[in-house]
């Protein structure tokens, strides 16, 4: 977009005022975080995948900076600058530009420079209540701006964690499966590995490092590793210590002794990830799925259902809302409830709004302890395109 | 701009000599025109060809934008410079020299990291211990990023390295590297090993044609002539 027409700018301005008005009336403080952000911290938090789409540059001092690719991380940083401990309840709203390189070339609904209008809520005591409040406010703001025809899609990463927690397996397997949840292929590969006795054997490791006596601790594993490296003439270079390497070898040794995941359990996990259902039927459907395996995730399903009730009570119509268990993949920093609002006009690939809970992001940005956080933002150019009914 | 076919060739080093040899064997004798230090040249008997001597990575850039019609450079540089390499250039002929594998290499002492999947798990515990992401030093930022994403590895950060990348882990500038290797000797000398599934690309020098250059029927004729001589 070489320049935007005055008419387009005025329409975006008017729309932004309407959205921000709704947020401010709901008690959200309007903020304007810095557009230029330190690249180091930002990229450490958002990861290399988004980095490929982030405009990074060097200032005359040699400092690495970036144009913010979203406003959530800058808002977290602003909050921490005010409250270094993080855990002070606060609600912020913003409207401002964000920048993302579009590999296939920028288009009207995928511009490289766009404006996000959004809200973030930190340290609220009741998570489900706050999830519902944030979703309801975003839906309310969209309605206020004139949007009528849209669909809500929801997911809940907490349910997946609960399912893993209810299945019997070593804690580190749960960590790995949760970690790989974002990457469907890696997830399937990991599930296959954990289900195969053969694959758990680590045949390509020297036996002496794998066959540790029962109850061997890290110190012992470390001693064996150092001895092995010494005899093999391998020098330990770099940042990682032999203790760190030994720790993971110990985990591999434990995996080799472990009973693989039963095929039925691996199938249950696969079936869970594949669940798609109307939001109102999701809880009973998931209940039916796990019950057959004698697995109890009723507490997490209770939380899920309570949130749905709170959403409805907050005035959001859930008819037509869809639940997908795998929804949330590719949005790496979310930890719980996730949602997206899509329109028939722009389709599922170009949602007009999205958001969710990200309880661990604040720690990544520098908070001493996790801070409950939920937020959402509206893609204002897309919203305007839908409302104008013009060419997308 | 002239309406000549621009052939971009490496301006220095072993690659320059090997290119000159290959062309000479095919009966294409390249002579530098103007002063001996000039960066222009011509080929005896092919008045429609103008030779530009530039650095290997610039050749990739020239072919990407169409500033050169033909060029000889490494596939690694071509794929690094263009995400959509196959849409912008045609590979006419592998040259049989300039061999280099682009690989993911980690300290050999990392017995717990043998495959790319291990790397992702290691990255998680590294971040827990050190409070930051594991760093990968490379000059192949795009190749590395694409390969890591293909393999489902995400918990890392790229650090641009402009030379002596293999020394980055020992110097604590990065924990691992993506770099080129031919025999692996330099990696071994620096206490590094290649991951089992860590070969990103087996590269060599190629004669490449840019789709974006200003082609005329006559220049296509010249291209065919050059390619035919080199293929004999």
Mean pLDDT of B194-220: 96
Q: List the beta strands (DSSP E) in chain B.
A: 5-10, 30-32, 40-43, 46-54, 70-74, 89-94, 100-107, 134-138, 156-160, 176-181, 192-203, 205-210
Which site among B83, B107, B109, B169 would you substitute to test the A interface, given the most A Cβ atoms closer than 10 Å to its Cβ?
A: B109
Measured in angstroms, the CA of B161 and the nearest CA of chain A are apart by: 15
Alpha-carbon dihedral A323, A325, A329, A333, rounded to 10 degrees? 90
pLDDT cut 90: percent of chain B above it: 78
Mean pLDDT: which of B33-47, B120-134, B196-210 is highest?
Answer: B196-210
Measured in angstroms, the CA of A203 and the nearest CA of chain B are apart by: 11
The per-residue pLDDT for A1 is 47
Mean pLDDT of B54-70: 95
Q: Which helix (H) or strand (E) holds A152?
A: strand A151-156
Q: Are residues B117 and B151 in contact, defined by beta-carbon separation less than 8 angstroms?
A: yes
- Give contacts of B196 with chain A, Cβ < 8 Å: 204
Q: Which structure tokens are listed for A143?
A: 């309605």
Which of the two residues, A27 and A109, has the higher pLDDT score? Answer: A27
Mean pLDDT of A59-70: 90
Mean pLDDT of B166-190: 95
Q: Are residues B122 and A249 in contact, defined by beta-carbon separation less than 8 angstroms?
A: no
Query: Alpha-carbon distance B165 to B181, whole Å?
Result: 11
Mean pLDDT of B134-154: 91
Q: Which structure tokens are listed for B37?
A: 């230090």
| Domain annotation for chain B: domains and CATH numbers | 5-98+204-231 (3.40.190.10), 100-203 (3.40.190.10)
Q: What is the ipTM of this complex?
A: 0.86
Query: What single-letter DSSP state applies at residue A189?
Result: H
Q: pLDDT tens across A112-166, in order?
A: 999 999 999 999 999 999 999 999 999 999 999 999 999 999 999 999 999 999 9
The per-residue pLDDT for B1 is 47
**Residue A253: closest C-alpha in chain B:** B112
Measured in angstroms, the CA of A176 and the nearest CA of chain B are apart by: 7
Residue A329 reports pLDDT greater than 60 = no
Mean pLDDT of A32-46: 87
Residue B170 reports pLDDT greater than 60 = yes
From the list A51, A183, A245, the residue facing B110 with the nearest CB is A245
Q: Are residues A122 and A373 in contact, defined by beta-carbon separation less than 8 angstroms?
A: yes
The per-residue pLDDT for B54 is 93
Mean pLDDT of A85-102: 95
Alpha carbon separation from B161 to A65, B129, B140, B143, B191 (Å, rounded): 18, 25, 9, 14, 18
Mean pLDDT for chain A overall = 90
Residue A392 reports pLDDT greater than 50 = no
From the list B107, B112, B117, the residue facing A252 with the nearest CB is B112
Query: Alpha-carbon distance A308 to A64, whole Å?
Result: 43
The residue among A368, A327, A381 whose CA lies nearest residue A156 is A327
What residues in chain B have their Cβ under 8 A from chain A's Cβ atoms? 83, 107-112, 114, 117, 120-122, 124-126, 129-130, 132-133, 145, 148-149, 151-152, 154-158, 169-170, 172, 175-176, 190-192, 196
Mean pLDDT: which of A94-98, A290-294, B33-37, B228-232 is highest?
Answer: A94-98
The three-class DSSP label of residue A237 is coil
- Give contacts of A182 with chain B, Cβ < 8 Å: 154
Query: Alpha-carbon distance A306 to B171, whole Å?
Result: 54
Q: Which helix (H) or strand (E) holds A289?
A: helix A279-291
Which site among B83, B84, B112, B190 would you substitute to test the A interface, given the most A Cβ atoms closer than 10 Å to its Cβ?
A: B112
Q: Rg (Cα) of chain B, in Å, rounded?
A: 20
- Give contacts of A228 with chain B, Cβ < 8 Å: 111
Query: Alpha-carbon distance A186 to B151, whole Å?
Result: 7
Q: Are residues A171 and A53 in contact, defined by beta-carbon separation less than 8 angstroms?
A: no
Residue A247 to residue B125, Cβ atoms within 8 A: yes
Residue B109 to residue A245, Cβ atoms within 8 A: yes
Neighbours of A217 (CB within 10 A): 10
Query: Alpha-carbon distance B77 to A272, whole Å?
Result: 44
Query: Alpha-carbon distance A95 to A108, whole Å?
Result: 19
Residue A44 to residue B132, Cβ atoms within 8 A: yes
| Domain annotation for chain A: domains and CATH numbers | 6-150+343-384 (3.30.930.10), 199-257 (no CATH)
The per-residue pLDDT for A391 is 45
Q: pLDDT tens across B74-102, in order?
A: 999 999 999 889 999 999 999 999 999 99
Indicate the angle between helix axes A127-145 and A298-313, nearest 10 degrees.
40
Residue A331 reports pLDDT greater than 70 = no
Q: Are residues B101 and B202 in contact, defined by beta-carbon separation less than 8 angstroms?
A: yes
The residue among A81, A83, A111, A95 whose CA lies nearest residue A32 is A95
Query: B70 Cβ partners below 8 Å, 6+ apart?
Result: B5, B6, B7, B8, B92, B207, B208, B209, B210, B223, B226
Mean pLDDT of B180-193: 95
Residue B190 to residue A237, Cβ atoms within 8 A: yes
- Give contacts of B129 with chain A, Cβ < 8 Å: 244
Burial class (CB in 10 A: 0-12, 13-18, 19+), A359: middle
Q: pLDDT tens across A363-378, in order?
A: 989 999 999 999 999 9
Q: Which structure tokens are listed for B164?
A: 């002596």
Residue A311: which pLDDT band, with cuts at 50, 70 and 90?
A: very high
The per-residue pLDDT for A280 is 92
What residues in chain A have their Cβ under 8 A from chain B's Cβ atoms? 43-44, 47-49, 51-52, 103, 175-176, 179-180, 182-183, 185-186, 189-190, 204-206, 209, 225, 228-229, 234-240, 242, 244-245, 247-249, 252, 332
Q: pLDDT tens across B8-30, in order?
A: 999 988 999 999 999 999 999 99
Alpha carbon separation from B41 to A115, B19, B45, B53, B62 (Å, rounded): 51, 14, 13, 8, 16
């Amino acid at each position: 977009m070489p320049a935007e027409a005055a008419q387009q700018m005025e329409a975006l301005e008017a729309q932004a005022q309407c959205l921000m008005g709704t947020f401010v009336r709901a008690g959200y403080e309007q903020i304007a975080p810095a557009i230029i952000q330190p690249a180091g911290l930002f990229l450490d938090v958002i990861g290399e995948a988004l980095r490929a789409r982030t405009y990074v540059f060097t200032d005359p001092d040699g400092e690495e900076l970036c144009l913010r690719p979203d406003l959530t991380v800058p808002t977290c940083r602003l909050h921490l600058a005010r409250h270094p401990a993080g855990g002070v309840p606060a609600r912020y709203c913003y409207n401002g530009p964000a920048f993302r390189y579009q590999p296939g070339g920028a288009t009207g609904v995928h511009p490289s420079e766009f404006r996000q209008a959004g809200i973030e809520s930190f340290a609220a005591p009741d998570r489900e209540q706050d999830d519902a409040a944030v979703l309801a406010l975003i839906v309310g703001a969209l309605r206020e701006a004139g949007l009528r025809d849209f669909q809500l899609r929801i997911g809940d990463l907490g349910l997946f964690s609960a399912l893993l927690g209810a299945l019997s397996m070593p804690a580190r397997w749960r960590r790995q499966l949760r970690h790989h949840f974002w990457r469907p292929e890696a997830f399937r590969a990991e599930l296959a590995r954990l289900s195969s006795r053969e694959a758990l054997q680590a045949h390509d490791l020297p036996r002496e490092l794998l066959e540790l006596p029962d109850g061997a601790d890290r110190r012992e594993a470390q001693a064996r590793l150092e001895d092995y490296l010494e005899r093999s003439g391998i020098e330990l270079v770099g940042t990682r210590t032999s203790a760190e390497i030994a720790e993971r070898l110990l985990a591999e040794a434990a995996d080799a002794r472990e009973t693989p995941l039963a095929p039925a359990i691996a199938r249950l996990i696969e079936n869970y990830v594949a669940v798609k259902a109307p939001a109102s039927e999701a809880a009973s459907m998931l209940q039916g799925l796990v019950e057959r395996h004698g697995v109890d995730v009723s507490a997490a399903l209770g939380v899920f259902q309570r949130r749905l009730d709170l959403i409805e009570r907050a005035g959001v119509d859930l008819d037509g809302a869809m639940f997908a268990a795998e929804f949330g993949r590719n949005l790496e920093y979310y930890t719980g409830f996730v949602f997206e609002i899509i329109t028939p006009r722009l389709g599922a690939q170009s949602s007009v709004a999205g958001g969710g809970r990200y309880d661990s992001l604040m720690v990544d940005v520098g908070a001493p302890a996790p801070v409950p956080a939920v937020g959402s933002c509206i893609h204002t150019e897309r919203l305007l395109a839908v409302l104008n009914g013009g060419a997308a | 701009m002239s309406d000549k076919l621009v052939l971009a060739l490496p301006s220095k080093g072993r690659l320059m000599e090997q290119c000159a040899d290959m062309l000479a064997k095919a009966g294409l004798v390249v002579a530098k025109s103007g002063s001996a230090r000039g960066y222009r040249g011509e080929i005896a008997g092919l008045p429609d060809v103008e030779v530009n001597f530039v650095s290997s990575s610039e050749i990739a850039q020239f072919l990407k934008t169409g500033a050169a019609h033909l060029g000889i450079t490494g596939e690694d540089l071509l794929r690094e410079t263009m995400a959509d390499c196959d849409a912008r250039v045609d590979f006419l002929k592998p040259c049989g020299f300039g061999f280099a594998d682009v690989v993911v290499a980690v300290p050999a002492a990392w017995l717990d990291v043998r495959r790319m999947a291990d790397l992702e798990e290691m990255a998680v515990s590294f971040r827990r211990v050190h409070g930051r992401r594991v760093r990968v030093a490379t000059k192949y930022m795009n190749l590395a990023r694409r390969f890591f994403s293909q393999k489902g590895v995400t918990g890392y950060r790229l650090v641009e390295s402009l030379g002596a990348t293999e020394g980055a882990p020992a110097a604590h500038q990065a924990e691992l590297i993506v770099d080129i290797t031919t025999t692996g000797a330099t990696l071994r000398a620096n206490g590094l090993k290649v991951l089992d599934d860590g070969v990103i690309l087996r590269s060599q020098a190629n004669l490449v044609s840019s789709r974006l250059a200003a082609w005329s029927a006559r220049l296509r004729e010249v291209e065919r002539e050059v390619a035919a001589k080199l293929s004999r």
